[in-house]
Structure 1
Amino acid sequence: MQHNIIDEAKSLRKYLHQHPELSCFEENTSRHLIERLKSECTPDELIVFKHYGVAAIFKGDKPGKSVLIRGDFDALPIQEINDFAHKSLTEGVSHKCGHDGHASILYALARYLSLERQEKGDAILLFQPAEENGEGAKGIINDPLFDSLKPDYAVALHNLPGYDLHKVVWRSGTFTAAANSIIIKLTGKTSHAAEPEFGINPALAMAEITQLILDQNQPDLDTDDFRIATPIYTTMGDQAYGVSAGYGELHFTLRAWDNQVIRDHEEKCEDIARQVAGAHDLKIEIEWTQSFFANFNDERVIAAIKGAAAAGGYETEQRATPFKWGEDFGIFTEQFPGAMFGIGSGKNCPALHNPDYDFPDELIETGMIIFKEIISQLQE
């Protein structure tokens, strides 16, 4: 029985890989998952959220805790260079973070729970869109339909290239960094390049802002106040050599281990930008985009993850520092006791977001086994 489930989940994974969709545009992916859940699984309830998210709910025979398991399903704007049979059919879009695999693990778990319900409590299997841009978790948690779920715990995994295949990687406290991206727009006055004194060129202000923001970095990974700003994009003026620019933009991504540290860092960066702009008589507009809370792991859930790994016979490793990448599951661990953990994708697996990456199908069964055991462990 379990063998058939895994084979079907692997087939689903390859289908999703062939038909990737970008964040906030996963209409067909969502529809396909809904059809599969309705026809091949028997959830007690199926909730379809406003922006493509889906929750399949399985109720145990006895009262117990409600455990939410999250799996994402959006792809990335990356051209795939692999040439296997299930390669992406969409030009410039591909599953290069393994979300096709994460969703397939959840599908396998849904199939399993359809045949063998957990003894106690509710299992909420959340298929989530738009993780990559931070909009998915936020949209679901703000959807009125989510109010009825009220999970006691929330759990998610991410595959991890560079670690031995199937190894369970855990960490107490912060697992992934808080991240937010700032866009600074500076408007001065365009003038003739021969008479820059009659205009207001933002170049010097842009250089000062960049230097002062980078001066705020605390790059020591072992400190609680770790924080870094990374310059992402800069633009100013046009390739018109007779014109002194009157407009410029600066984009930075900020990261920190702690949600309060990044809030303070955001405020400091805004203050720097506004003060420098004012000193140069520039109008300023600031926007924020792609915001991710830090994933803070609850000790009770970490104990369940380690217990599930031990029950399944999987090797574990405690990570010394958090991962520096952002993950929007942090909005769940901000509001509910929860945790994110990793499963090794292999020492030689291409890195995440690389054009030759492909999710290892061997992890589907591993993820399913660990998740179903976590649900059981959290009922004790």
Structure 2
Amino acid sequence: MEKLNKLIELRKELHKYPEVSGNEIETGKRIKSFLKNYPPDKLISDLGSTGFAAIYKGKNPGKTVLFRCELDALPIEEINIFEHRSINKGVSHKCGHDGHTTILCGLATELYKNKPETGSVILLFQPAEEDGSGAEKVFSDPNFKVLQSDYVFALHNLPGYLINQIVVKNDTFTCAVNSLIIHLEGKTAHAGEPEKGKNPTLAIAEIITEFNTLIQADISQENFCLITPIYIKMGTKAYGVSAGAGEIHYTVRSDSNLQMQAIEIALENLAQSTASKHNLKCETSWIQNFKANSNNDKAVEIVRKVAKMNHFELLEKEKPFTWGEDFGLFTQNYPGAMFGLGSGLDTPALHNPDYDFPDDIIATGVAMFYQISKEITNAY
């Protein structure tokens, strides 16, 4: 009970002092300070800039399993009024990364007390998940490349699901998500002589219309494709001027990394051909890329086994979640799985200003991760 109280205290401290993607310096210091009481055999700092890894080793060689959490918060103003509410204006933990991180710290307390019999357990504290850059930064770090793992695991809390319920799914768990920026360059003109310029209005309207024809919004069907307009800009509030430039931003979702590649090419070609038709220059770029989490069958079976061993309620998810999570880059490169941890039917939705991670699910997350580590490191 005392150990759980310390974890809850840590979670609330992390919640009170949130930092956005790439700025998780003080967050990292707080976690490392906590880990000094449960020192790992090796600590690798500055992974992907502000990330780090704590490694707990067994006495003998064996399999290595990696567990990952996220350090960053969101640029959302918190409206909660409890004591541990965010003190950083415009920034708050509205996705539960404070809780995910605390669960990994709870795993550290178990591993320090009971080292793996064989092999190693890596606890990866990853930066910048929210903007999709963190996993890539960690992967490209030379110090991470030496940490080869046999399996990788992560969890995500799920508002709207029974508290402490374990949610599993084979194959795609979360969708591939990528964001597209289309910049159209024409020529300004006097609003009374628009024919002397190149106004992007009709091209923007045509792109929006054509993109809509590619949407297949039913995730239960093949070729799921969601194309959501996010932001449009054209011209200025100068009523005597016919606009000469415009910009459209989209978020694109697919339940397959391979399908996402095909969608990206189709959208780029469509934007370019439409711009050419209207005598406009067109530049396209992609940002905030999230690979689909492709769960490995054997890894998911381990999650199922551990949930049943702990007598946790298990829910088999039929369809992927449509949100993105950059742990997909890990499941592309290693056998592994992301699973869900129910955080309550009445808990506010993720990314909402009144959300707060429920401390009641910390112990469940720790128990799941610790038993998964035993299943893998103790396997011969």
Report Cα offsets for 1:210-257 as digits up to 9, x if no partner: 111111111221123111110010000111111100010000111000
2:245 aligns with 247
**Alpha-carbon offset, residue 82 of structure 1:** 0.5
Report how far residue 21 of structure 1 moved.
0.5
Which amino acid in 2 is paired with 1:42?
P
Output the TM-score relative to the length of structure 1. Answer: 0.98
Aligned partner of residue 173 in structure 2, secondary structure: strand
1:307, 1:377 within 8 Å by CA — same for their partners in 2? no
**Matched position secondary structure for 1:28:** helix
| Matching of residues 284-299 of structure 1 within 5 Å | 284-299=282-297
SS in 2 for 1:145: helix
Q: Distance in 2 between matches of 1:265 and 1:247?
A: 25
Q: TM-score scaled by structure 2?
A: 0.98
What amino acid sits opposite 2:258 in the alignment?
A: Q
Question: Secondary structure of the equivalent of 2:128?
Answer: coil
SS at match of 2:33: helix
Partner-residue secondary structure (3-state), 1:267: helix
Instruction: Look up the equivalent residue of 1:338 and give its one-letter code.
Output: G
| Displacement of 1:353 | 0.4
The answer for the alignment partner of 1:173 in structure 2 is 171
Q: What are the Cα deviations for residues 118-146 of structure 1, in whole angstroms up to 9, with x where unaligned?
A: 22211000011110011111100110001
- Letter of the 1:187 counterpart: E
Q: Which residue among 38, 43, 46 is the counterpart of 1:41?
A: 38
Deviations 1:145-204 (A, max 9, x none): 011111110000000000110000000110000000000000100011111001000000
Please point out which of 369, 372, 380 is paired with 1:371.
Answer: 369
Please state how far the C-alpha of 1:378 moved relative to its aligned partner. 2.2
- Secondary structure at the aligned position of 1:277 is classed as helix
What is the aligned counterpart of 2:127 among 108, 126, 129?
129
Residue range with higher mean Cα deviation, 28-37 or 7-16: 28-37
| Counterpart for residue 94 of structure 1 | 92
Task: For residue 254 of structure 1, give the secondary structure of its aligned residue in structure 2.
Answer: strand
Alignment of 1:249-328 (within 5 A): 249-328=247-326
* Mapped pair 1:162 → 2:151: no
**Residue 359 of structure 1 corresponds to which residue in structure 2?**
357
Counterpart of 1:122 in structure 2: which amino acid? Answer: S
What amino acid sits opposite 1:90 in the alignment? N
Taking only the aligned residue pairs, the percentage that are identical comes to: 48
Give the alignment of 1:323-338 within 5 angstroms.
323-338=321-336
- Cα distance in 1 for partners of 2:117, 2:2 equals 23
Q: Is the 8 A contact 1:34 1:54 kept in 2?
A: no
Query: Would you say the 8 A contact 1:17–1:87 is kept in 2?
Result: yes
Which residue identity is paired with 2:295?
Answer: N
Cα distance, 1:50 vs structure 2? 4.1
CA distance in 1, matches of 2:225, 2:270: 16
Say if 2:26 is the partner of 1:28: yes
Task: Name whichever of 314-323 and 27-36 sits farther off.
Answer: 27-36
Task: Assess if the C-alpha contact under 8 Å between 1:140 and 1:146 holds in 2.
Answer: yes
Unaligned runs of 5+ in 2: none
**Judging changes above 3 Å, is the alpha-carbon distance between structure 1 residues 224 and 60 closer, same or farther for their aligned structure 2 residues?**
farther
Q: How far apart in 1 are the matches of 2:362 and 2:58?
A: 23
Counterpart residue type for residue 41 of structure 2? D
Q: Which residue of 1 aligns with 2:4?
A: 6
Tell me if the contact between 1:177 and 1:258 (Cα under 8 Å) persists in the aligned partners: yes
Unaligned runs of 5+ in 1: none
Q: Match of 1:261, as an amino acid?
A: Q
Aligned to 1:15: 13
Q: For residues 273-324 of structure 1, what are the alpha-carbon distances to aligned partners after superposition, in whole Å with 9 as ceiling and x for unaligned?
A: 0000011111111111000000011011111101111111100000010000
Of 51, 54, 57, the residue aligned with 1:56 is 54
Instruction: Give the Cα separation in 2 of the matches to 1:300 and 1:14.
Output: 35
Distance 1:32 1:333 in 2: 28
Verify the 8 A CA contact 2:182 2:285 in the aligned structure 1.
Answer: yes
Superposed CA offset, 1:87-124 (max 9, x none): 00011110000000000000111112111112221100
- Residue in 2 aligned with 1:238? 236
Select which of 144, 147, 159 maps to 2:145: 147
**Residue in 2 that maps onto 1:65:** 63
Deviates more, 1:296-305 or 1:223-232: 223-232
- Does the 8 Å CA contact 2:48/2:127 hold for their aligned counterparts? no
Which residue does 1:119 correspond to in 2? 117
Give me the whole-angstrom Cα distance separating, in 1, the residues matched to 2:376 and 2:57. 14
**Letter aligned with residue 126 of structure 2:** Q
In 2, the alpha carbon distance for the partners of 1:180 and 1:9 equals 35
Report the CA distance between 1:368 and its aligned residue. Answer: 0.4
1:207 matched residue in structure 2: 205
For 1:19 and 1:289, locate their aligned partners in 2 and report how far apart those are by CA, in whole Å: 27
Question: Are the counterparts in 1 of residues 172 and 256 from structure 2 also a CA contact under 8 Å?
Answer: yes
